[in-house]
Amino acid sequence: GLFNVLRAYALFDPEVGYCQGLSFVVGPLLLNMPDEEAFCVLVKLMYTYGLRGHFLPSMDDLQLRLYQFEHVLADALPWLSRHFQEQGVLPTMYVSQWLMTMFAYRLPIELTFRLFDVVFAEGLDCLLRVAIAVLKRSQTRLLTLEFEGILQYLNDGPLFAFYSHAAPDMLVHDSNQVSINARALQKLRRQYIDDAQRKLEEEDEASAMRAENEQLKTECAQLQNALQSGEKQGEKQGADREERARLARQIEDLEKQLQNERREAEVRLRDERREAETRIKADMDQLAQKNVQLTIKNQQLEDGLQDMEEALVQIKMLYAESEDQREVMTKRFEDLRKALK
């Protein structure tokens, strides 16, 4: 049963252990196969298909797919993406559960089986197309809602109601209409890794600076203690003014050095943050411009297709009229031949 498979996997993969979300993945498997086969398929999903990265404590792969989804949403549905940003709705608030359970916690069991088949055939990247297709179906409604209403609609509302009553293949059909370039996903993967590496380096640098600051503070405290001790000793045995002056200068130099390093670090971090914001703004502007060009091109194609359809209808009507004239002429010719006989 479900308990046996989840317990077996927790023993098999202690780093992941028991996760509540895995029950949504194992449940549909057990409805189609025995416990042993369900366990083997679960291992395949976790290690070969990459689902394991969604359940590790760091959730690195899940964070990567959320990063990819955010950019794909901005490219495919720019108005909805901008509305979500204005309302403060982040992908982590609703997409995480979709990806971790492969939509099993929201879809009827028949659709869940169908979606599992697609995952087995195409991999986990197809979940991004499904998420975009579901949001596109309800885009008009979502654009009218604010923060709380959006979260209610996405997590507990009728987001999947249409597919619950539609044909089983409708969800797959809609997701296939969403175009996501594999190279674009790879590019986003590299960008995410580069950004993560840069953030890690910034954190390491900040940590090193904090450690150095603590060390300087410790040295300052030691020098101050030494100065105080010298003053006390000077009161008793005669203060060594030159030593105290030297210690005071060292303290002053260390304080200046600490202030300069702190000031340089603040300037450097501010410049890096400004560059990152400029780069992100440029990327968003480029995506918006690209979407406008694609919209115009799509409209031109639709207009051309409509003109072709109207021309085809006219050709068919002319052809039908010519057929009628040919039949009339044929009948007249037969009547004339009979009259000549």
Dist CA 15 CA 116 (whole Å):
25
- Report pLDDT for 40: 96
pTM over 0.85, yes/no: no
The first and second tokens of residue 28, run together, are: 């549909």
What is the rounded average pLDDT for all residues in the chain?
86
Dist CA 231 CA 241 (whole Å):
9
Dist CA 299 CA 295 (whole Å):
6
- Report pLDDT for 6: 94
Task: Kindly give the parts of the chain with pLDDT less than 70.
Answer: 230-240, 287-288, 291-292, 295
- Report pLDDT for 295: 67
Dist CA 208 CA 188 (whole Å):
30
The first and second tokens of residue 270, run together, are: 């501010």
Dist CA 16 CA 27 (whole Å):
18
- Report pLDDT for 307: 81
- Report pLDDT for 136: 93
Dist CA 213 CA 152 (whole Å):
47
- Report pLDDT for 234: 59
* Per-residue pLDDT tens digits for 82-117: 999 999 999 999 999 999 999 998 888 989 999 999
Query: What is the phi-psi region of residue 107: left when phi exceeds 0, alpha when psi lies from -120 to 50, beta otherwise?
Result: beta
Using the 8-state DSSP alphabet, how is residue 280 labeled?
A: H
